[in-house]
């Protein structure tokens, strides 16, 4: 039997340390300068960082536009990810096209970064459909509203891809509140036992709705929850785009190479309320978001790239123009009235419809045809 020491290392020369870094991995200071000492993870190249910058600028404008649409009644609800753009974009850019992303309801920016049309990405939050895009086309599972159930789905799909020998990885996003759910722990245990190629990406934004982190866990950090299941874990500054890309790239490669799952905890912050239906001023001081604004991920990456000559005024202007174009297309799409097809309710419920489902579909079809005749 393998003897694992307290530092997480196997005494027989087996797996490396499971323990996360004592402090979150960071490449950049809050002002966007290079941090010292340099982390052990390879730094992403300038092309990828420019791509991340563009995606974050576009994503933040999309997020602001979606928030405005809730005030106009065009969206039923919207969970903003303002301030978490490094996590949203990093989760997508760390994956290959064939890999799978399992999002929560807060990952709308990640969906747009993956190439999903904004109107399709917002279908759930508008109330038009449970999922407005084709999951298989984009390799993105439907956005999950129940907490942490997507982690179980990701573990199962990752195991299936392993059995098929595809080399694909599944990355599941989850919030700090989701780590208190039983599904999260079942997913970690299953993935660890079967060495499924899954990455569990915890965006610790300090609050599960109105409940602060210290009411969620007594662990030193959420990353330590992976250690008990035998999962390699790491902590990262979630507002440092360079660090997020570096750590997630290493996590994905770890999973893809057959070493089993990887858990990453990103320390970040949601600057807006939980959703437009929430009032964050009831449970946090005004000074708290202001402190986190000084760690803005877009400003940090822009400063870093400019210092190294990898970003010009023209690049910044181009990203802003692309962001405005996407916002305009989002407005146009959401300002158009939807035309739901009621019979689509019965699609994708079962692979083979049950007799009861066929009966219900036929009943609704007859009702619709009768109304059409009367009109």
- Clarify whether residues 131 and 274 are in a common domain: yes
Lowest mean pLDDT among 15-24, 316-325, 351-360: 15-24
Greatest pairwise CA separation for the chain in angstroms: 79
Residue 12 above 60 pLDDT?
A: no
Question: Has residue 10 been placed in a domain?
Answer: no
Separation of alpha carbons 375 and 370, rounded Å: 9
Residue-wise pLDDT for 62-100, tens only, equals 999 999 999 999 999 999 999 999 999 999 999 999 999
Contact 191, 158 (CB under 8 A): yes
Contact 195, 163 (CB under 8 A): no
- Clarify whether residues 241 and 313 are in a common domain: yes
φ, ψ for residue 171, nearest 5 deg: -115, 120
- Clarify whether residues 323 and 348 are in a common domain: no
Lowest mean pLDDT among 299-308, 315-324, 331-340: 331-340
Question: Has residue 316 been placed in a domain?
Answer: yes
* Annotation marks residue 274 as catalytic: yes
Residue 14 above 50 pLDDT?
A: no
- Clarify whether residues 105 and 63 are in a common domain: yes
Question: Has residue 4 been placed in a domain?
Answer: no
- Give the pLDDT score at 135: 96
For the stretch 297-300, contacts whose Cβ atoms lie closer than 8 Å and that sit 24 or more positions apart, written own/partner, are: 297/56, 297/83, 297/84, 297/85, 297/86, 297/238, 297/239, 297/240, 297/241, 298/53, 298/56, 298/57, 298/60, 298/85, 299/32, 300/28, 300/29, 300/30, 300/31, 300/32, 300/239, 300/240, 300/241
- Clarify whether residues 180 and 144 are in a common domain: yes
- Clarify whether residues 287 and 355 are in a common domain: no
Separation of alpha carbons 307 and 301, rounded Å: 10
Q: Which domain holds residue 45?
A: 20-335
Question: Has residue 247 been placed in a domain?
Answer: yes
Note the helical H segments in the chain. 46-71, 85-93, 108-113, 118-121, 123-126, 135-138, 149-164, 182-193, 224-227, 241-256, 287-293, 297-307, 313-335, 355-374
User: What's the predicted TM-score (pTM) here?
Assistant: 0.91
- Clarify whether residues 38 and 104 are in a common domain: yes
Across the chain, mean pLDDT equals 93
Which of 60, 61, 139, 270 is catalytic? The answer is: 270
Number of residues assigned to the chain: 375
Separation of alpha carbons 273 and 255, rounded Å: 34
Question: Has residue 40 been placed in a domain?
Answer: yes
Contact 37, 84 (CB under 8 A): no
- Give the pLDDT score at 16: 56
- Clarify whether residues 143 and 263 are in a common domain: yes
- Clarify whether residues 107 and 253 are in a common domain: yes
Question: Has residue 1 been placed in a domain?
Answer: no
- Clarify whether residues 221 and 149 are in a common domain: yes
Separation of alpha carbons 340 and 49, rounded Å: 40
Question: Has residue 207 been placed in a domain?
Answer: yes
- Give the pLDDT score at 251: 98
Contact 65, 330 (CB under 8 A): yes
CATH number at residue 270: 3.40.50.970
Residue with tokens 């019965």: 346
Which of 283, 284, 310, 329 is catalytic? The answer is: 283
Peptide bond into 104 cis (omega under 30): no
Task: Identify the helix (H) or strand (E) that includes residue 267.
Answer: strand 262-267
* Annotation marks residue 270 as catalytic: yes
- Clarify whether residues 104 and 208 are in a common domain: yes
Report the number of distinct structural domains present in the chain. 2
Measured CA distances, 152 to 148, 178, 183 (Å)? 7, 12, 6
- Report residue 351 as tokens: 């692979």
Residue-wise pLDDT for 286-313, tens only, equals 889 999 999 999 999 999 999 999 999 9
Model confidence at 128, pLDDT cuts 50, 70, 90, reads: confident
Separation of alpha carbons 232 and 101, rounded Å: 20
Residue with tokens 């990455």: 199
Contact 165, 88 (CB under 8 A): no
| 307-325 average pLDDT score | 98
- Clarify whether residues 215 and 356 are in a common domain: no
Question: Has residue 13 been placed in a domain?
Answer: no
């Amino acid at each position: 039997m393998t003897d694992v020491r307290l530092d997480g290392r196997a005494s027989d020369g087996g797996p490396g340390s499971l323990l996360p870094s004592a402090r979150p991995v960071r490449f950049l200071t809050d002002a966007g300068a290079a941090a010292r000492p340099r982390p052990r993870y390879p730094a992403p190249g300038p092309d990828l960082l420019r791509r991340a910058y563009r995606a974050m600028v576009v994503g933040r404008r999309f997020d602001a536009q979606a928030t405005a649409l809730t005030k106009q009644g065009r969206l039923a609800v919207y969970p903003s990810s303002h301030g978490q753009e490094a996590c949203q974009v990093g989760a997508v850019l760390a994956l290959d096209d064939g890999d799978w992303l399992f999002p929560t309801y807060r990952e709308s920016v990640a969906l747009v970064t993956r190439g999903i049309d904004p109107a399709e990405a917002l279908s759930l939050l508008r109330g038009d459909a449970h999922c407005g895009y084709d999951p298989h086309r984009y390799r993105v599972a439907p956005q999950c509203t129940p907490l942490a159930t997507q982690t179980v789905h990701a573990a199962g799909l990752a195991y299936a891809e392993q059995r098929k020998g595809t080399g694909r990885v599944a990355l599941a996003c989850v919030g700090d509140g989701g780590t208190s759910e039983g599904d999260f722990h079942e997913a970690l245990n299953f993935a660890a036992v079967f060495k499924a190629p899954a990455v569990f990406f915890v965006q610790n934004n300090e609050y599960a709705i109105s409940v602060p982190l210290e009411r969620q866990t007594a662990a030193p950090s959420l990353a330590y929850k992976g250690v008990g299941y035998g999962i390699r874990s790491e902590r990262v500054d979630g507002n440092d785009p360079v660090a997020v890309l570096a750590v997630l790239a290493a996590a994905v490669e770890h999973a893809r190479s057959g070493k089993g799952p990887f858990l990453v905890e990103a320390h970040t912050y949601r600057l807006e309320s939980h959703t437009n239906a929430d009032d964050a001023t009831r449970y946090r001081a005004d000074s708290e978001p202001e402190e986190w604004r000084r760690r803005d991920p877009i400003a940090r990456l822009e400063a870093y790239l400019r210092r190294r000559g990898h970003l010009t005024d023209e690049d910044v202007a181009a990203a802003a123009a692309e962001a405005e174009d996407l916002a305009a297309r989002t407005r146009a799409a959401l300002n158009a009235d939807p035309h739901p097809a009621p019979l689509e309710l019965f699609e994708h419920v079962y692979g083979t419809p049950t007799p009861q489902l066929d009966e219900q579909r036929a009943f609704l079809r007859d009702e619709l045809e009768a109304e059409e005749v009367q009109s």
